[in-house]
């Protein structure tokens, strides 16, 4: 059976993700132990909360170095904070170093974009349904319509250092990175496990994905 390791570091919708994975016919292994996660066919790195707390929790469980290695060798999906932690740095409540698996940084929404054309302030966190605009072909987008709605909850966003990492954006006063990909790694700012039919389709695509991004438009050289 297809086994999916779900990284448990004390932060995230672990059991919502596990329930979605099992609904789709795979075995979910929720664990904080590197040796148990290492035996799985693919990994999901979910999360909600603060970046600094995330990095501390990963270090305490000795999962930080495991994730750096695991992200190179098997299909890997980062969700929300699990996407942000892949970056080099974050400005959330001070400066923090990330896993540096991908080049880029995590930034607060700029104040100048938080006022809409009617003079009303957009709320932070960005919370609720918004459209995912695909910028590059990827196997995880198979069968998902352009501009399908996904569910978001976040106060900071990812700015990848290399434009070829960006595979989808979402608009919240300005277009920000909603999904990025490199080789066997895919990451989303939104929550597919909370995103209805489109989210389940993306997770189902991940369960069938062999880690090949399917074209030179995906990732960096």
DSSP assignment of 175-216: EEEEEEEETTEEEESSBGGGSHHHHHHHHHHHHH--S---ST
* Any domain includes 120: yes
* Any domain includes 94: yes
Interior CA angle at 111 toward 113 and 121, to 5°? Answer: 70
* Any domain includes 221: no
Report the domain count for the chain: 1
Mean pLDDT by 10 residues, the chain (221 residues): 92 89 96 96 92 94 95 95 96 92 95 74 90 97 98 96 96 95 97 97 97 57 39
What pLDDT was estimated at residue 218? 56
pTM above 0.85, yes or no: yes
Interacting residues of 24 by C-beta distance below 8 A, sequence separation 6+: 200, 203, 204, 207
* Any domain includes 64: yes
* Any domain includes 8: yes
* Any domain includes 43: yes
Domain that holds residue 75: 3-208
* Any domain includes 218: no
The CATH number that applies at residue 73 is 3.40.50.880
* Any domain includes 219: no
The CB density around residue 20, as the number of other CB atoms within 10 Å, is 23
Catalytic machinery residues: 80, 191, 193
């Amino acid at each position: 059976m297809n086994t999916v390791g779900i990284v448990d570091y004390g932060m995230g919708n672990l059991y919502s993700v596990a329930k979605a994975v099992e609904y789709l016919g795979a075995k979910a292994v929720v664990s904080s132990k590197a040796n148990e996660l290492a035996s799985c066919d693919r990994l999901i790195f979910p999360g909600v909360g603060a970046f600094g707390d995330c990095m501390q929790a990963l270090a305490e469980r000795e999962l930080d170095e495991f994730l750096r290695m695991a992200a190179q060798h098997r299909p890997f999906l980062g969700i929300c904070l699990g996407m942000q932690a892949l970056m080099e740095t974050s400005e959330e409540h001070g400066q923090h170093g990330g896993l540096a698996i991908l080049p880029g940084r995590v930034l607060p929404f700029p104040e100048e974009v938080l006022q809409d054309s009617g003079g009303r302030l957009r709320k932070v966190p960005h919370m609720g349904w918004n459209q995912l605009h695909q910028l590059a072909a990827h196997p995880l987008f198979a069968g998902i319509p352009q501009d399908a709605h996904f569910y978001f909850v976040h106060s900071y966003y990812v700015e990848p250092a290399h434009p070829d990492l960006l595979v989808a954006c979402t608009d919240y006063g300005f277009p920000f990175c909603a999904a990025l990909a490199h080789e066997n790694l895919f990451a989303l700012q939104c929550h597919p496990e909370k995103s209805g039919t489109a989210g389940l389709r993306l997770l189902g695509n991940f369960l069938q994905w062999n880690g090949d991004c399917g074209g030179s438009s995906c990732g960096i050289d």
